[in-house]
Structure 1
Amino acid sequence: MKINLTTTIFKDEKKETVETVEQFSNDHGVEMKVVNLYPEVEYQTFDGFGAAITEAAGYTYSLMSKENKKKIVDAYFGENGIRYNMVRTHIDSCDFSLGQYEAMDDPTDTDLKTFSLDRDEKYIIPLLKHAEKIADNNLQVMLSPWSPPSFMKTNEQRVQGGALKPEYRQFWADYICKYIKEYRQKGFKVNMITIQNEPDATQTWDSCVYTAEQEKEFLKDYLYPTLLKNDLDDIQVNIWDHNKERMYERATAMIDEVTDKMIHGVAFHWYTGDHFEAIQLVRDMFPKKKLIHTEGCVEYSRLSDAGQLENAQMYAHDIIGNINAGMNAFIDWNLILNKQGGPNHVGNYCDAPIMCDTDNDTVKENLSFTYIGHFSRYIQPGAIRIASTKYSDKIEVVSLKNPDKTITIVLLNRSNEELPVSVRINGKITSFNVTAQSILTGVITE
């Protein structure tokens, strides 16, 4: 038995990735500096990784040369890239759009005859098609609304929160189903939706507020019956789609004997901190539900002073903590952005793992891209998290058993000291060092 090790370090603003191989030998009672793996103790299944194809990402992509378009999509979705298998995109406009827009804005058009995806066709769909092709037609697609059309809102506008008018709940359910069906007709495997992005936030951009009672009533009495009516019973509906710290409250308020069959999972974001215990609470209370991270990014408004290493470590720390707490999938925010961190119609700029200089046609892979790849390249869709123990809080560990029987272990060392590790599994042991300020992925094979 052996372990193939891939280590990435970042020093003096330079990245270095080193690959080595270590052999296992019989365990003769090593007790110190140990990380234990227990493949027989299984937890949740992990479905994969992905990112959002926003209009901002699609517009940025459209300005790049043919060669760089291919480079970007290969890097994310190709076999030699970081192997994303999921995409999230928005129903109508979001903050990372060029401006506000709606597929239909006529209150009298209850048959949705004027409904059009022309705006999506311009920037989102070309990038999505390219990703689908490179991923060998194996992408799962999630749709999320930031706001219903303005005429359906209590404040008569897409921005500044507001709520869905009760008299438009059926119209909005029909609209969402129309969006799903139109995307499916274009050949995309839309199999997931969230009911509302950040339903507890009033934003200067596209937003809409739902209480737990309102979200539950909309799902139970309007959205779910309309999905069934449109033969969309295979759509996986995810609730909440907001920060972790309140996901338990929303889940317990919405999931009951009636709605249990309607709710596939709970979606969450990372913007208010770790809250890994919140994920664990939902996992313990609702063991059959999917728990999906649907958005996270390095916001310039809060984290502009952070360096590449800190940003990358933030991703790794969150992914490890989330998986260990019960997460089933991790979807990042924007796939790519321009050098400003946009475009964004309200100036809400942020970082992305790949940034593009559209003026000079150059592509920059941030360290966060490499760190995410330490998970997504080696954790296969369908992998099962297994139990592990560690000897120190200076090292963060997660391990999964892949469908091909290999075992992936990721170790994050955010300390300034090199940490020795002896990995023990099934009566075998191997030892190596985890470099200071590094991430290491090991793949164990027979």
Structure 2
Amino acid sequence: MNIKLITTTYHDDQKNTYEDTKDFSTDQGVEMKVVNLYPEMEYQTFDGFGGAITEAAGYTFSLMSEEKQKRILEAYFGPTGNRYNLVRTHIDSSDFSLGQYAALEDPEDREFKTFTLERDEKYIIPFLTQAKQTAVQPLSVMLSPWSPPAFMKTNGQRTFGGSLKPEYREFWADYICHYIKQYRDKEFNIDMLTIQNEPNATQTWDSCLYTAEQEKEFLRDYLYPALVKNNLEDIEVSIWDHNKERMFERACTIIDAETDKMVAGVAFHWYTGEHFDAIRLVREKFPDKKLIFTEGCVEYSRFSEAGQLENAQMYAYDIIGNINAGMNAFIDWNILLNKEGGPNHVGNFCDAPIMCDTDNDIVQEKLSYTYIGHFSRYIEPGAKRIASTKYTDKMNVVALKNPNGSICVVMLNRSTEEVPVALRLAGQVTEFVVPAGAIVTGLI
């Protein structure tokens, strides 16, 4: 038995990724510097990795040459790239749109005669189409609304929060279903839906507030009946879609004997800290629900001074902690942006794993792209998390068993010292070093 090690280091703004192979030998009783893997102890199934194709991403993509577009597609969806199998996009506009818009603006049009995906067809759908054609496995798509049309809201605008007017709850549920059906008619595999992006945040961009009770009522009395009426019961609905620190309370309030069948999962973001124990609590309380990371990015407003290594480590640390706590899938935010971190119609600029200089047709793969790939290239959809133990807090470890029986272990060393490892598995052991500030993926 042997292990293939893929290591990425980063020094003086230079990335170095290299491979090595180590043989296992019989365990002679090693006790020090041990990392244990126990494939017989299985936990949740992992569905895959992905990112968001926003209007901003689609617009940026459209400005690149055909050669660079192909490179981007291969980098994310191709067999030698990060092998994404999940995509999230927005219902109507989000902050990462070129401006505000809705597919229907006429309050009197209850038959969707004026409904149009014209905006989506400019930039989102062409990018999504090419992603689907490039992907090495079927592409699952999640839809998430940032706001209902302005006329449906208490504040009469898409921005600054506001709530859904009670008299529009049924219409909004039908609107969401119509959106799904329009995408499915274009042969996209829309199989996931969140009820509202960040329902607890009043933003300067597209936003809408729901209390837990309001979200529960909307799902139970309007959205789920609309899905059934439209033969969309197969859509997996996730609640919350916001930061981790309140996901347990939200799940406890919404999920009961009546709504249990309506809720497929709980979606969460990372912007208020790691809160891995919050994920673990939801996993323990609701073991049959999918726990899906649906958004995270490096915000320039908060992390403008951080370098590429810190940003990449933020991704890897969160992915490892989330999976160990029970996460089923990871969907990054914008899969690419322009060199300014946009476009964004309210100036909420952010980093992305791939950035594009559209003026000079330059594609820049950030270190975060490589770090995500240390997971997504080797963890197959359908993998099972397995048990592991480690000897030091200088390193973070997660291990999964792929459907073909291979084992993938990812080790992150955020310290300034190398970490030696004696990896033990099934009576066998092999020894190697995780360099300072490095990430290592091992394949057995």
> Matches of 1:441 and 1:162 in 2, distance apart?
45
Give the % identical residues. Answer: 72
Q: Distance in 2 between matches of 1:218 and 1:112?
A: 21
Deviation string, structure 1 residues 238-267 (Cα, Å, up to 9, x no partner): 000000000001000000000000000000
Please state how far the C-alpha of 1:320 moved relative to its aligned partner. 0.2
Q: Distance in 1 between matches of 2:390 and 2:335?
A: 33
| 1:314 CA displacement | 0.2
Query: Aligned partners of 1:82, 1:428: CA distance in 2, in Å?
Result: 30
Look up the match of 2:409: 409
Tell me the equivalent position of 1:216.
216
Q: Does 1:300 align with 2:295?
A: no
1:75 is matched with which residue?
75
* Match of residue 361 from structure 2: 361
Query: Which residue does 1:25 correspond to in 2?
Result: 25
Q: Quote the Cα distance in structure 1 between the aligned partners of 2:312 and 2:320.
A: 13
Shift of 1:201: 0.2
Name the structure 2 match of 1:421: 421
| Paired position in structure 1 for 2:59 | 59
Q: Could you tell me which residue of structure 2 aligns to residue 104 of structure 1?
A: 104
Q: Which moved more, 1:135-144 or 1:125-134?
A: 135-144
Give the 3-state SS of the residue equivalent to 1:37 in structure 2.
strand
Aligned equivalents of 1:399 and 1:67: distance in 2?
36
Structure 1 stretches of 5 or more lacking a match?
Answer: none
Matched to 1:280, the amino acid is R
Distance in structure 2 (CA, Å) of the matches to 1:289 and 1:181: 25
- Aligned-pair CA distance for 1:136: 4.5
Q: In structure 2, what residue type is equivalent to 1:145?
A: P
**One-letter amino acid of the structure 2 residue matched with residue 162 of structure 1:** G
Q: Work out whether residues 85 and 137 of structure 2, in 8 Å CA contact, stay in contact via their aligned partners in 1.
A: no
Question: Do residues 3 (structure 1) and 3 (structure 2) align?
Answer: yes
Q: Deviations over 1:130-165 (max 9, x none)?
A: 000001561000000000000000000000000000
Task: Tell me the residue number matched to 1:127.
Answer: 127
Relative to structure 1, the CA distance from residue 135 to residue 426 in structure 2 (aligned partners, 3 Å threshold; closer, same or farther) is same
Superposed CA deviations along residues 159-178 of structure 1, whole A, max 9, x for unmatched, are 00000000000000000000
CA distance in 1, matches of 2:442, 2:136: 26
**Cα distance in 1 for residues equivalent to 2:241 and 2:330:** 13
Q: Deviations over 1:338-374 (max 9, x none)?
A: 0000000000000000000000000000000000000
Aligned to 1:169: 169
Match of 2:187 in 1: 187
Q: How far, CA to CA, are the matches of 2:105 and 2:157 in structure 1?
A: 11
Give, as a single letter, the amino acid of the residue that structure 2 aligns with 1:258.
E
Task: Provide the aligned length of Structure 1 versus Structure 2.
Answer: 444
SS at match of 1:60: helix
**Structure 2 counterpart SS, 1:10:** strand
RMSD value, Cα: 0.5
> What secondary structure is seen at the aligned counterpart in 2 of 1:100?
coil
Aligned positions of 1:274-285 closer than 5 A: 274-285=274-285
Whole-angstrom CA distance in 2 between matches of 1:434 and 1:393? 13
TM-score normalised by the chain length of structure 2:
1.00
Q: Could you say which residue in structure 1 is the equivalent of 2:257?
A: 257
1:379 aligns with 2:369: no
Structure 2 CA distance for aligned equivalents of residues 18 and 212 of structure 1: 48
| 1:336 CA displacement | 0.4
SS for the counterpart of 2:101 is coil
- Residue 186 of structure 2 corresponds to residue 201 of structure 1: no
Q: Distance in 1 between matches of 2:360 and 2:155?
A: 42
Amino acid at match of 1:294: T
Moved more, 279-288 or 130-139: 130-139
- Which residue pairs with 1:115 in the alignment? 115
Letter in 2 for 1:430: T
For residues 443 and 404 of structure 1, the distance between their equivalents in structure 2, rounded to whole angstroms, comes to 12
The answer on whether the counterparts of 2:79 and 2:136 sit within 8 Å (CA) in structure 1 is no
* Runs of 4 or more above 6 Å deviation: none
| TM-score for the superposition, normalised by structure 1 | 0.99
SS of corresponding position for 2:9: strand
1:7 & 1:155 partners in 2: Cα distance?
Answer: 52
Aligned to 1:348: 348
Aligned AA (1:440): V
- The answer for the alignment partner of 2:41 in structure 1 is 41
The answer for the alignment partner of 2:443 in structure 1 is 443
- SS class of match (1:349): coil
Structure 2 distance, partners of 1:395, 1:209, is 39
1:155 partner amino acid: N
Secondary structure of the residue aligned to 1:261 is helix
Secondary structure in structure 2 of the residue aligned to 1:143: strand
Counterpart CA distance in 1 for 2:333 and 2:297 is 6
- Residue 323 of structure 1 corresponds to 323
Partner of 1:289: 289
> Residue deviations 1:294-332, cap 9 Å, x none?
000000000000000000000000000000000000000
CA drift of 1:18 comes to 1.0
Cα distance in 2 for residues equivalent to 1:6 and 1:214: 47
- What is the letter of the counterpart of residue 127 of structure 2? L
Deviation per CA, 1:71-105: give whole Å up to 9, x if none.
00100000000100000000000000000000001
Q: In the aligned structure 1, how far is the partner of 2:236 from the partner of 2:343? A: 30
Q: Secondary structure at the match of 1:415?
A: coil
| Amino acid of the structure 2 residue aligned with 1:10 | Y
State the distance in 1 between where 2:136 and 2:432 align.
37
Q: Does 1:158 align with 2:151?
A: no
Q: Does 1:144 align with 2:147?
A: no
